[in-house]
Amino acid sequence: MDQVKMGTRVTPCPMPVTLVGTKVEGRVNFMAVAWIARVNNKPPIWGAGIAKRHFTMKGIHENREFSINFPTAEMITETDYCGLGSGSKIDKSDVFDVFYGALEGAPMIAGCPLAIECRVHDVVDMPTNYLVLGEVVEAYSEERFLTDDRLDIKKANPVVLTMPDNRYWTVGEHVADAWEAGKYFRP
């Protein structure tokens, strides 16, 4: 075997790039978050691992509501900016055009191919992070990102992140179809 030990501090290869939206003391804030996944089927619940000290946690504790927004590659500069500084020091309320759905505590970003508003289902206390679990109230896109009423990844042009090289990437070529490619394989 040619395995090389990589230590324990690796990350998913790659991670989706999102912006978590909150209202903190009445002000809109966005934080770049890549430690995020859907975690429950019915109802649809998502989980995000957010460091306890983060300003975003104040808004989540305060309102028990937040949003998850998937920016396009064209929005990468603004997205990265939201990952560089804390909302406790810089006002990020003007970085994006904001819209709301049903939840006042879940500001969403106009121009994102996917934006979802969530109500807190639970907050799991982890050693250094909170694992914030949010139930989806509604998801939003725009016509220009859809083909036949479905999100079209090539129109959406989302971004993924790799670490430790700290690089953002687009989604590339279609490899195969899921729940299909393996049908005729037998080991």
For a copy of itself, the binding residues in 61-120 under the rule CB under 8 A are 70, 73, 76-84, 92, 94-95, 99, 101, 110, 113-116
Locate 47 and state its tokens.
Answer: 């989980």
Parallel, antiparallel, or unpaired: how do β-strands 36-40 and 98-99 relate?
Answer: unpaired
Please give the DSSP secondary-structure letter assigned to residue 85. S
Under rule CB under 8 A, which residues in 23-52 are in contact with a copy of itself?
Answer: 35-49, 51
* CB proximity list for 140: less than 8 A, separation 6 or greater: 99, 101, 108, 114, 115, 116, 117
Question: What gap in Å lies between CA 95 and CA 29, rounded to an integer?
Answer: 9
Nearest-approach distance from CB 58 to a copy of itself, in angstroms: 19
Q: Is 84 helix (H, G, I), strand (E, B) or coil?
A: helix
Q: Is 180 helix (H, G, I), strand (E, B) or coil?
A: coil
Nearest-approach distance from CB 180 to a copy of itself, in angstroms: 7
Q: Is 1 helix (H, G, I), strand (E, B) or coil?
A: coil
Is the CB of 4 or the CB of 26 nearer to a copy of itself?
4
Under rule CB under 8 A, which residues in 166-185 are in contact with a copy of itself?
Answer: 166-183, 185
Is the CB of 59 or the CB of 134 nearer to a copy of itself?
134
Give Cα separations from 33 to 46, 48, 178 (angstroms).
13, 8, 26
Nearest-approach distance from CB 7 to a copy of itself, in angstroms: 6
Is 128 a binding residue for a copy of itself by CB under 8 A? The answer is: yes
Q: CB atoms < 10 A from the CB of 82, how many?
A: 24
Is the CB of 48 or the CB of 57 nearer to a copy of itself?
48
How many residues interact with a copy of itself (rule CB under 8 A)? 105
Is the CB of 62 or the CB of 152 nearer to a copy of itself?
152
Is 150 a binding residue for a copy of itself by CB under 8 A? The answer is: yes
Q: Which of these segments, 9-17, 19-27, 54-62, binds a copy of itself (CB under 8 A)?
A: 9-17
**Of these, 28, 60, 106, 156, which contacts a copy of itself (CB under 8 A)?**
156
Is 143 a binding residue for a copy of itself by CB under 8 A? The answer is: yes
State in Å, rounded, how far the first CA of the chain is from the last one: 21
What single letter denotes the amino acid at residue 14?
P
